[in-house]
Amino acid sequence: MNKAIDFYYSPTPNGWKVSIMLEECGLTYNTILINLKKGEQFSSDFLKINPNKKIPAITDYDKNEKPINVFESGAILLYLAEKTGKFIPDSIDERRKLTQWLFWQVGNLGPMGGQHSHFWNYAPTSEKQSYASHRYADEYKKCLEVLEYQLTGRNYIINEYSIADIISWPWVLITKSMGIPLDPYPNVIKWRQRLKERDAVRKGVDLMRNKKN
Ligand SMILES: N[C@@H](CCC(=O)N[C@@H](CS)C(=O)NCC(=O)O)C(=O)O
């Protein structure tokens, strides 16, 4: 088995960010499924890779030195983009734009989508109409509005296809399962479809699809 990169994964939006990036970059990787329902993210072995006990994480053996562990999807995408020189712009000004959208995703779209999705799919019925439940749905919709505005007159989040798109897309892919119609966001609909048509994106999302946990 090729040991270039070990990829700790589960087929979820945060996992797809990295599976899509690995596919886009054409990197060789070995997928290690972490069964979240069984609590495998809490094992002592995985803790050494990711002290935050969540997927995704990677170990890169592609150097003669010590293997490199990286956790947090934003850090992993930046690491892989810098390693390959792909999906990251060269100019300082474009990089500034890229990093602000990366931070936006990990601080806004991801957590608001994640919390809304949790309430929508898992909260007891009595909690579904709670203050917190509405708050997360509204905050997630605000993120979609931000994305809609940014995509006005643009095909991608910054001037070119980049890790800003790769990191954001999975949290927009699943709107149906979160009960959020996309009709008010036509630019987002087009962008979502534009990315869906990429082979690497489809391969990334299909990785171990049947192993949903
Ligand atoms: N901020 C983290 C979030 C990762 C995350 O929430 N992963 C979820 C799956 S989508 C997870 O591992 N959940 C298991 C748990 O919290 O126990 C990142 O962007 O990598």
- Find out whether the beta carbon of 105 lies less than 6 Å from any atom of ligand 1: no
Same fold, 5-87 and 92-200: no
CA gap 125, 41 in Å, rounded: 28
Q: What is the pLDDT of residue 124?
A: 84
SS3 assignment, position 174:
coil
The model's pTM: 0.95
Q: Indicate the length of the chain as a whole number.
A: 213
Residue nearest to atom 12 of ligand 1 (CA): 54
Tell me the per-residue pLDDT of 7-59, one tens digit each, with 9 for 90 and over.
999 999 999 999 999 999 999 999 999 999 999 999 999 999 999 999 999 99
- Find out whether the beta carbon of 36 lies less than 6 Å from any atom of ligand 1: yes
**What residue ranges of the chain have pLDDT lower than 70?**
1-3, 64, 212-213
CA gap 179, 156 in Å, rounded: 25
CATH of region 5-87:
3.40.30.10
93 Cα–ligand 1 center, Å: 30
73 Cα–ligand 1 center, Å: 9
Q: What is the pLDDT of residue 77?
A: 98
Q: What is the pLDDT of residue 210?
A: 81
Match domain 92-200 to its CATH number in 3.40.190.170, 1.20.1050.10, 3.40.50.80, 1.10.3290.10.
Answer: 1.20.1050.10
Sequence spans of domains, the chain: 5-87, 92-200
